Amino acid sequence: MRLPALALAALALAAGAAGCDAQADRDYPGEPLVTLRGRVEGTPPLPLPPLEAAMLWQRGPPPSTDDQELATRAPVESGFPATFTIRLYQPPPAAARRTLAPGEVSFARGNAAAVPFGIAAELIPQLVTAENPSYGVDVDHWVVHLGAAVPANSLTAWWLGAALPAGYHLVRVTAVDPGCLDAVELEACVATLVARGVPDEGTARGFCLAPYRLSPAPGGEEIVLRLGTYGPPAGGGACP
C-alpha cells in the first residue's frame, strides 16, 4: 500500500531527527558536577612551557599526596595570567574513597596540579619525586567529594570545618603548628572529638595535632597552581 508523499516526508524527517539526537547523546558529556577555575604561576621564567591542569585523586591518608590517580586534565590557556578550567563529570573512583572512622560519611579528596602538556598518566607520579619544574600542585585547597550529607555533630564536620551537603566542595587547607595547643586546649579538643564518636583518646589526639586545618572555600574562589610546589603544606604555620 503506497503512503502519501507528505507522510513519507514526515517519516524521513522524524528518522533524521532521531539520528541527530542519538549522535548528540553520544558526544554530550552532560552537565559537570563541579567546575574549577584557576591560574598557573611559575618560578621558571615566563612564558610558561606548554602545560595542562590535571585533577589528581589522592588515594593515601590525608594530607599525603604521594599516591594519586589522574581524573581529568584541561588545557592551560597561554597569556598573563595563564588560566584553566577543570570540569568533573563523574564521582571519584572507589580507590580514593575513605572514611575518618567507622560510621562516618565517606569522602574522597583531590588536588589540582599543573603537569607538562601531553604527559602520560602513569608518568605523573614521577614528576613529584623528580621535582620537575613543570609540575606544581595547589596545596592551599582540596577538592572533596562527600558520599552523603555530613551530620552537624560528627567527626567529619569538625574535620571539614562545617557540616557540608553531599557532592563536590572546594575546601581551604591551612598549615598549623600543633605546638600552638597548650595542654588544656588539647584535652578540650580530645574531649570534643570523643563526644563526636572518635573511638579512643589516642585517635582523637592525632586529629587534634594534625598539622593542618580545613575550612570551606568561599564560592568562586580561584585555584592557584605554583610551579615547583610538590607536596602538602608543611606544619609550623600560623596558630588557628
pLDDT in tens, 129-167: 888 888 999 989 999 999 999 999 999 999 999 999 999
Same domain, 164 and 138: yes
Is the torsion defined by CA of 226, 232, 237, 239 positive or negative? Answer: positive
Distance CA 145, CA 93 (A): 11
Q: Give residue for cell 588544656.
A: 184
> In this model, does residue 14 exceed pLDDT 50?
no
Instruction: Please tell me whether residues 200 and 99 are part of one structural domain.
Output: no
C-alpha cell at 48: 610558561
Same domain, residue pair 231 and 205: no
Whether residue 15 lies inside any domain: the answer is: no
The verdict on 110 and 132 lying in the same domain is yes
User: What whole-number distance in Å separates Cα of residue 193 and Cα of residue 155?
Assistant: 6
Flag whether 16 is in a domain: no
- Mark whether 133 and 238 lie in a shared domain: yes
Residue ranges making up the domain that contains 192 = 177-210
The pLDDT of residue 50 is: 87
User: Does residue 8 surpass a pLDDT of 90?
Assistant: no
Question: 96-117, pLDDT tens digit by residue?
Answer: 999 999 999 999 999 999 999 9
Residue 1 falls within a domain, yes or no? no
Cα→Cα distances 175→78, 179, 203, Å: 31, 12, 20
Both 129 and 199 in a single domain?
Answer: no
Average pLDDT along the chain? 85
Amino acid at 209: L
The whole-number pLDDT of residue 96 equals 95
Q: Which of 113, 76, 145, 55 is nearest to 232 (CA)?
A: 113
Q: Work out the percent of the chain whose per-residue pLDDT is above 70.
A: 82
